[in-house]
Chain A
Amino acid sequence: MGSYVLRRVLQMIPVFFGTTLLIFLMVYTLPGDPVSALFGDKAADPAVVASIKHKYYLDQPIWKQYLHYMGNLFQGDFGTSFTGRPVSDIMADAFPVTIRLALMAFAFELVFGLLLGLVSGLKRGSIQDTLVLVLTLLVISIPVFVLAYIAQTVFATNLGWVTPTVQNSKDLSQLILPAVVLGSLSLAFVARLTRTSIGENLRADYMRTAVAKGLPRRTIVTRHLLRNSLIPVVTFLGTDLGALMGGAIVTEGIFNVQGIGNVLYRAINQKEGPTVVGIVTVLVIVYLVASLVVDLLYAVLDPRIRYA
């Protein structure tokens, strides 16, 4: 087990540097000059541009820029945005909002996704099963931003339960609707995955053995069927937390949630290099940690991995 964890952590290191380098290259080497963009339509004074470039290390070769950035990063310094505000400050404001939003979405997809998947998996071919299949297929097909509009129209405009956009991002109750929209796609995946997994395990030989042993039905379902069926679902759920934070970009925009997605979207539009790289780096770390946790969970749940 110990060597397994160590191996996974070691594998993460090159991936971390690779992914951040990739983002770094995408932000800083592609066409489009962020510094002259700062001046808008006004012609920039070359001397000023040069001094800004020097200040942000932009006059150095790209590999030096990257090393410099990484050096600072390991001292907890995410750099300074072009507006002069430390990127870590910007993130400290926005991340808590998105984490709350993502956790709510996660709880929503976990509870309802598992429930729906369980019902339809155990009663294959029933009306409930068909209903779950059709509903999840619809949710998967309708892009999130369309879904967001439907939710806005129904719950805000028609029913008047909520305001169309979030007034105060710190208010949890206002985040419910965006969280439901954000989690809906993953919910559909969780439900389908659970259903498939249960269906597969129902046919497994060891289930036949469990019946032949004369175990009560409840024991068979909870102890043998669920335990095995949840393994792939847990795997999906783990990586999904990171995906939710990335997916927040659309949801936060439509519902005006002042979270990381909104900040990132603005930063991309304004070519705010340091902010973009900083946020994406944190997202990559979240993703990597999440997949490590998933691997460990996987090993806990499935002894065939643990003792491999």
Chain B
Amino acid sequence: MTTAVDTGTSRREAPYEGPLLDVRDLHVEFVTRDGVAKAVNGVSYSVAAGETLAVLGESGSGKSVTAQAIMGILDMPPARIPRGEIRFRGEDMLGMDKERRRRIRGQKIAMIFQDALSSLNPVLTVGFQLGEMFRAHHKSSRKEAKEKAVELMERVRIPAAKDRVNDYPHQFSGGMRQRIMIAMALALEPDLIIADEPTTALDVTVQAQVMDLLAELQAEFNMGLILITHDLGVVADVADKIAVMYAGRIVETAPVHELYARPAHPYTRGLLDSIPRLDQKGQELYAIKGLPPNLLRIPPGCAFNPRCPRAQAVCRQEVPELFPVTEDDGTELAGRGSACFFWKETLHDR
């Protein structure tokens, strides 16, 4: 390896054309006692610098597993990646040697987890855990690391950072803890941040603050952001584009506002319809019937077919690919795709 990852502050390398992160046809399986659970079944997406991709899906849809595969923090076994490609700045991540992969983690790609309380080490001070990033990657001294930790805490607007740097995670409020997680991810100014349900554990008012902070810092550093969530509301304000996942596949991709206005997949449509709306007060709320599939036995054909109001014979036999979505006159809609044989009908439905 001649292009050893630089450890200095000049993080902008030779200009790289193309997406920051490119995932192609990724498959992830888990070998369990009951059989092989197919968690991710051919996911492809890409993220550019400064872009926010929201990955939307229920638990079990494979959104988090995909993220963990990108980070390289899946436990293998039981997990395995039988097929697929993950390229970061054009470089193949799956074939890379362990040491280089480790240096990319935290330094080039960082991750924010859902539950900050359990994701932070309970017996180490937050200052230590923040400073650890500099000590591990930049070989900073203890003192330097602590100073940088205070700076980071100030940057994510934790009040009285200097006094609180020696506190332990459980001494902070939920929102403050999530800020510390964000600070940790930002520490080495990475190119890409993956945020896995960063606000789910927080109160609604705090959710908005944390989301705003994240978006602001992303813009400031021109980072790519993958925002994993099951909450449509979180997505709307911050994302550029959305990928909706179901049973380990992407079922629809679209720029965020188009997805809201005109979904092209019955699953997305169902999700949108199940949001309570003020203008429909008093009416019964729509709910998608049935349950998400068992990953050990994903139904043949389109995985959504048992729950789909539009399902036909073809849906039970063939797996739909991600069709490009166009207007009736054939004008292509940039960035739009739907894995439904009846995307056209769905698009018009309303």
Assess whether B168 is in contact with A213, with CB atoms less than 8 Å apart.
no
C-alpha spacing A204/B110, complex, angstroms? 18
Assess whether B136 is in contact with A224, with CB atoms less than 8 Å apart.
no
Determine whether A307 belongs to the interface, using a CB cutoff of 8 Å to chain B.
yes
Partner among A208, A212, A227, A304 whose Cβ is within 8 Å of the Cβ of B106:
A212
Assess whether A214 is in contact with B73, with CB atoms less than 8 Å apart.
no
Determine whether A302 belongs to the interface, using a CB cutoff of 8 Å to chain B.
yes
Determine whether B137 belongs to the interface, using a CB cutoff of 8 Å to chain A.
yes
- Interface membership of chain B positions 142-170, coded 1 if the CB is closer than 8 angstroms to chain A and 0 otherwise: 00000000000000000000000000101
Partner among A211, A214, A224 whose Cβ is within 8 Å of the Cβ of B121:
A224
Assess whether A205 is in contact with B118, with CB atoms less than 8 Å apart.
yes
Please give the distance in Å from B107's CB to the nearest CB on chain A: 6
Most chain B CB neighbours (cut-off 10 Å) among A212, A227, A304, A307:
A212
* Residues on B with beta carbons closer than 8 Å to the beta carbon of A212: 71, 73, 105-106, 110-111, 113
Please give the distance in Å from A296's CB to the nearest CB on chain B: 16
Closest to B121 in A: A206
Assess whether B107 is in contact with A214, with CB atoms less than 8 Å apart.
yes
Please give the distance in Å from B199's CB to the nearest CB on chain A: 17
Interface residues on B, range: 20 to 34
* Residues on B with beta carbons closer than 8 Å to the beta carbon of A204: 118
Assess whether A214 is in contact with B102, with CB atoms less than 8 Å apart.
yes
Assess whether A214 is in contact with B103, with CB atoms less than 8 Å apart.
yes
Determine whether A256 belongs to the interface, using a CB cutoff of 8 Å to chain B.
no
C-alpha spacing A304/B169, complex, angstroms? 9
Assess whether A209 is in contact with B120, with CB atoms less than 8 Å apart.
yes
Determine whether B133 belongs to the interface, using a CB cutoff of 8 Å to chain A.
yes
Partner among B119, B137, B170 whose Cβ is within 8 Å of the Cβ of A214:
B137
Assess whether B170 is in contact with A304, with CB atoms less than 8 Å apart.
yes
- Interface membership of chain A positions 211-246, coded 1 if the CB is closer than 8 angstroms to chain B and 0 otherwise: 111111001000110011001000000000000000
Determine whether B278 belongs to the interface, using a CB cutoff of 8 Å to chain A.
no
Assess whether A303 is in contact with B110, with CB atoms less than 8 Å apart.
no
Determine whether B55 belongs to the interface, using a CB cutoff of 8 Å to chain A.
no
Closest 7 A/B residue pairs (Cβ): A214-B106, A214-B105, A205-B118, A206-B121, A303-B168, A213-B106, A205-B119
Determine whether A301 belongs to the interface, using a CB cutoff of 8 Å to chain B.
yes
| Contact (A213, B133) CB under 8 Å given A227-B123, A301-B123, A307-B171 | yes
* Residues on B with beta carbons closer than 8 Å to the beta carbon of A208: 73, 113, 119
* Residues on A with beta carbons closer than 8 Å to the beta carbon of B120: 206, 209
* Residues on A with beta carbons closer than 8 Å to the beta carbon of B121: 206, 209-210, 224, 228
C-alpha spacing A43/B132, complex, angstroms? 80
Closest to B106 in A: A214
Could you list 7 further interchain pairs (A-B, Cβ under 8 angstroms) beyond the known A215-B132, A304-B168? Answer: A204-B118, A205-B119, A214-B107, A214-B137, A219-B136, A231-B123, A307-B170
Partner among B106, B133, B168 whose Cβ is within 8 Å of the Cβ of A307:
B168
Please give the distance in Å from A301's CB to the nearest CB on chain B: 7
Assess whether A228 is in contact with B122, with CB atoms less than 8 Å apart.
yes
Most chain B CB neighbours (cut-off 10 Å) among A209, A214, A227, A231:
A214
* Residues on A with beta carbons closer than 8 Å to the beta carbon of B110: 212-213
C-alpha spacing A216/B102, complex, angstroms? 7
| Contact (A213, B105) CB under 8 Å given A303-B168, A304-B170 | yes
Closest to A307 in B: B171
C-alpha spacing A224/B115, complex, angstroms? 18
Determine whether B184 belongs to the interface, using a CB cutoff of 8 Å to chain A.
yes
Please give the distance in Å from A297's CB to the nearest CB on chain B: 13
Determine whether B104 belongs to the interface, using a CB cutoff of 8 Å to chain A.
yes
* Residues on B with beta carbons closer than 8 Å to the beta carbon of A206: 118-122
* Residues on B with beta carbons closer than 8 Å to the beta carbon of A216: 102, 136
Interface positions, chain B 74-126, Cβ under 8 Å from A, are: 102-107, 110-111, 113, 115, 118-124
* Residues on A with beta carbons closer than 8 Å to the beta carbon of B71: 212
C-alpha spacing A216/B135, complex, angstroms? 11
Assess whether A213 is in contact with B136, with CB atoms less than 8 Å apart.
yes
C-alpha spacing A205/B104, complex, angstroms? 20
